[in-house]
Structures are given as structure tokens and as C-alpha cells.
Structure 1
Amino acid sequence: MTHFPSSLAPGGRPLPAASGPPDATPRIAVISAFPPEIALLEAALEDGETHRIGPARYITGRLDGREIVLFLSGISTVNAAMTTQAALDHFGVSAILFSGIAGGVDPSLGIGDVVVPERWGQFLEGAFARETAAGYVLPGWMSAPVANYGMMHACPVGVLPAGASAPESRFWFDTDPGLMEIARDAAREVELERCGDAPARVILGGNGVTGPVFMDNAAFREHVFSAFEARVLDMESAAMAQVAHANGVPFIAFRSLSDLAGGGGDENEMVAFMSVAAENSARLMRAVLARLPEAVD
């Protein structure tokens, strides 16, 4: 069996068949969104073996002494949901660690900082409301947890939790508290690459948001910061988080700022800084991975 703290137990996810997934070896799923991010991790993987599931490639092996399955989520929400669910269906995944770059929303943060949010939501999951004399108004049977941006209202999604018989309405998906504590411990020792004069920092807690758009707009960045109280935004993490929640699998996402999502003074910074951001995120993720209990058959 897998020896994890209670909050990290696989807990509740129905197996696709009585015999379990095709590869039932207990593993940590390690995910990145696109090739420049995963290359850092693949280079360090030991005893790698490639598996094809549908259009995606999954690599099993050992990283930092832990059995993992490493794969690209693909860019944006549909790809992330598809590849994460396939991993859970085909491998004995006991926890999910996502490492990648992101856009900074909180104006107090800088490029290279690594953000580890306590919860994730989808900022473009919702409704485009009707314009009336009273403003943009949702139908009476809909609700929105945060302030709108013009006609755009973010709304909860219906999701069937692991072991439940009826769906629930949910906007936020919570990072596993046990994994967050391990990240807090790891952050005290990890060394990050600098970006400019200021040292890069680890920022634990707060909100992260996800949407199927590349965000590079100062006005909407301000809205996301004020309405969602978000520190960071990306294109995959909340989709992964929803799949993890639906399957009863604990998750945590590490996102290092490659750009300021439209808040910088010149052209978007991602191309210039994605390498150092990907490196910083991977360093913290691996420090957490190395602190996880080893799986024991």
C-alpha cells in the first residue's frame, strides 16, 4: 500500500475496473504545461519508460527518489482536463504536483517569484450577461461569487465529487493542506534564480485563477486582482484541480511568474523570462517531491 499522511491518501476515487488501473504502481503525477517546462524534469528522470495514451505521452520513472508519472498537460483547460483524467485512469496516482510558468496578478510580486495558491478557480467559466437599464444582469437562477467585468460574470461549475451521487456547485478547488505544509517546509531551504536586482521569492497561499486565454491586459489584470483576490493566473491549473477534486486525488500547483499579464510597461515579458521561471518552479516542486513519503507496495 502507499504510506501517506491521511490528507494525502488517494481516498475515494472509484477505480475504472475491479482490477484497478492498467499500471497500479503507486506514483506521484508530475505535470507541466508545455515542452520548455517539462524538459528540465525529463532530463533528471531515472529509468524513464514512455507510454502513449490517446494523443498524449506519459513517462514513468523515478525523480528525486520517488516513483512518478511525468507528462505535459498541454496548453489550456481542455487539454489539461483530458490529460489529467487519462493519467488517473491509467496509473496509480496518489497525488498531483503541477510545475509551470504563469502571469503575475498581484502587483507586489515580481518575475521569477514562485506562487503556490491555496485554491484555484476558473475566471472565464460563467455567463455573458444581458445588458439592461440597471446594468448587466444575470438570469434569476444564476449567481456569481465575485464582481463582474462588464457583461462577463464568473460562475461556479457543477462537479461530481469522488464518491458522491449528485453534483455540487463549486467555484474554488482547494490545494491539499498536507501538500501545502510540505511546500511551506521546502520553501525555507530552496534556492531560486534571481531575476534582475531583486531575489526571487516563494509566495504561499492566496488564490490562483485559470482561463483559456493568454492574458496580457492591464485593465483586466486589475479586475482579476481585485475581484478574485488572485495572485497569479494561468491556463491549466484550475482545470487540473477540478479533475483532481472529482477523483478524490490531492493536488498542489507551483507557478513561477514569467510575465505580469499585461502589468508591465513594455511588451509581454514571457519569452524573455520563461526559462528562469520554469527553473524556479521546478526547483520548488522537486524540493516538495523529495519530501513526500516513498510509496511501498
Structure 2
Amino acid sequence: MIGIIGAMEEEVAHLVKLCEEREEIVQGPYHFYKGRLSGKDVVLVRAGVGKCNAAACTQALIDRFQPSYLFNTGIAGAISPEVHIFDLVISRDALQYDVDVTSFDYPLGKVPGDKKLGYDADARLLELAVEVNQEINPEHNSFIGRVVTGDRFVSSHETKEYLKKTFDAACCEMEGAAIAQIATKNGVPFVIFRFISDEANNEAVYEEFEAKAIEKTVNFMLEFLRRV
């Protein structure tokens, strides 16, 4: 069983419609959809926006379905100057940039009690993701890099520069590292996939490119699942 978590209704709804043998399971606030997608057994769910929503949903999915893998799909703002709109960022690792316990000598972004700074994605799947995206989106680039997560929508040049300089981030968003943290604590391999919808600057064009980025997310996931 592969767990797929999205933050937004639009991206999850597209995948749910394509599921065969679909079954809806309601648990608390979550609507899980079990079925077969691209020949794989999957469970899909919308987590909602933000770290708390993402973490709670991830634990609920793991407790109920015991997935072999967790994939987090969605869109993000570019941080690295090499990353542009509609490019794909595949998580090498993920961390929470708004965790600050430096007063107790922890590195910025490190959660006390965790073994290291950030959470490592399943390295076995990273190159496969690059290969798939190069085939279906040859006009755009793929990057394996760091995904940074915080409870804010980044739209200023100053914050973008800070995240690049401090964390060497490829992109920023609002759920990935929380999902990665819970997956890691439960020993479930994960990968975060983020298509870029804006460049996290003062000319943020999130709404303009959101629909196209979601379309790319859906097409990528369908092909990636076929290869896993």
C-alpha cells in the first residue's frame, strides 16, 4: 500500500477520480480513498494546509493503513535561483525552517529529540523521479534538493534569500517537513514532490500558475506510480 498525501482539494480530487476500485473511508476529519492507481494499491487523502494538519493526517494514515511508502505531492515556491516555475523539486531531505531552539544550542531548524537536522527521503526513488519527469515534462527541469517547511506563505525577496543562505533550500512550502517528520518517526520511507507554482518573491503569481502546476503533479504521479 502506498500512501499519497496532498494539501489541496484540487490535486487530491484529480487523483481520486482516476482511482479504480475506489472506496471512501471516513476517520475523524479525514476522508481516505483506497483504490488502485496506475496498477498500485494506494490510499489518498487531503491533509489541509499547514504543519499541524499535515502531521496529524500523516499519523492517522499510518495508523489505519500501514503504508509501505508515503508520497507527498503538491506545489511550492522556488528558493534556489536555479529553480523556476513548473520545475520539479524532489526532496533529498526536508526540515522546518521556523523551528528555533537556538537558545538551547540546537541548530536552527532542528527539533529537539530528533537524531539529525531534517529528515532524509528514500534515496532509492530520487533518480527514478528525475527520470520520469524528464520523460513527461522535457521542457522543464528536475532538482533533487532540500524542501523547507513553515507555517507561512513566502512572498518576499528577503525571506527567499534568508532561506537560501541559511538552509540551502531548493523550495519552500507549508506541509512537507511535517509529513517527513512523522514518516521518519514511524519508519515509513517517504519522498516529497513539489512542482513550482511561484518564485516566492514580491511578484508571486501563485494563483496564475496553480492550476497548471497541479496538472503536472497529477500526470507525474500517475507515471511515477507505474514505475515504483
TM-score class, shorter-chain normalisation, is over 0.9
Q: C-alpha root-mean-square deviation of aligned residues, in Å?
A: 1.5
Partner residue of 2:71?
Answer: 97
AA paired with 2:127?
Answer: E
Does residue 187 of structure 1 match 2:133? yes
Partner residue of 2:167?
Answer: 228
Q: Per-residue deviation at 1:206?
A: 1.7
SS of 1:253 mapped into structure 2? strand
- The TM-score, its normalising length taken from structure 1, stands at 0.73
- Out of 111, 136, 139, the residue aligned to residue 157 of structure 1 is 111
Identity of counterpart residues, as a percentage? 32
Partner residue of 2:151?
Answer: 212
Of residues 34-43 and 87-96 in structure 1, the stretch that sits farther from structure 2 once superposed is 34-43
AA paired with 1:202?
Answer: S
Does residue 33 of structure 1 match 2:7? yes
Q: Per-residue deviation at 1:65?
A: 0.6
C-alpha deviations, 1:67-90, integer Å up to 9, x for none? 100001110100000001000000
SS of 2:170 mapped into structure 1? strand
- Kindly indicate which of the two structures has a greater share of residues assigned to helix: 2
Does residue 201 of structure 1 match 2:137? no
AA paired with 1:272?
Answer: E
AA paired with 1:235?
Answer: M
Partner residue of 1:164?
Answer: none
Q: Per-residue deviation at 1:184?
A: 3.1
Residue pair 1:122, 1:171 contacting (<8 A) in 2 also: no
Does residue 250 of structure 1 match 2:178? no
Does residue 64 of structure 1 match 2:27? no
Return the index of the structure with the highest Cα Rg. Answer: 1
Distance in 2 of aligned mates of 1:282 and 1:251? 18
Partner residue of 2:117?
Answer: 171
Residue pair 1:97, 1:285 contacting (<8 A) in 2 also: no
Q: Per-residue deviation at 1:282?
A: 2.4
Distance in 1 of aligned mates of 2:170 and 2:105? 27
Residue pair 2:109, 2:118 contacting (<8 A) in 1 also: no
Distance in 2 of aligned mates of 1:124 and 1:168? 16
Distance in 2 of aligned mates of 1:280 and 1:103? 15
Distance in 1 of aligned mates of 2:147 and 2:109? 15
C-alpha deviations, 1:99-152, integer Å up to 9, x for none? 10111111222111111120000000114xxxxxxxxxx53x3232xxxxxxxx
Does residue 291 of structure 1 match 2:223? no
AA paired with 2:98?
Answer: L
Matches within 5 A, 1:104-183: 104-127=78-101, 138-139=102-103, 141-144=104-107, 154-158=108-112, 167-183=113-129
Give the unaligned 5+ runs of structure 2.
none
Residues 65 and 241 of structure 1: CA distance in aligned 2, closer, same or farther (over 3 Å): same
Give the unaligned 5+ runs of structure 1.
1-26, 128-137, 145-153, 159-166, 193-198, 293-297
Residue pair 1:210, 1:236 contacting (<8 A) in 2 also: yes
C-alpha deviations, 1:178-231, integer Å up to 9, x for none? 121321332342236xxxxxx32222x121100011111110101101111111
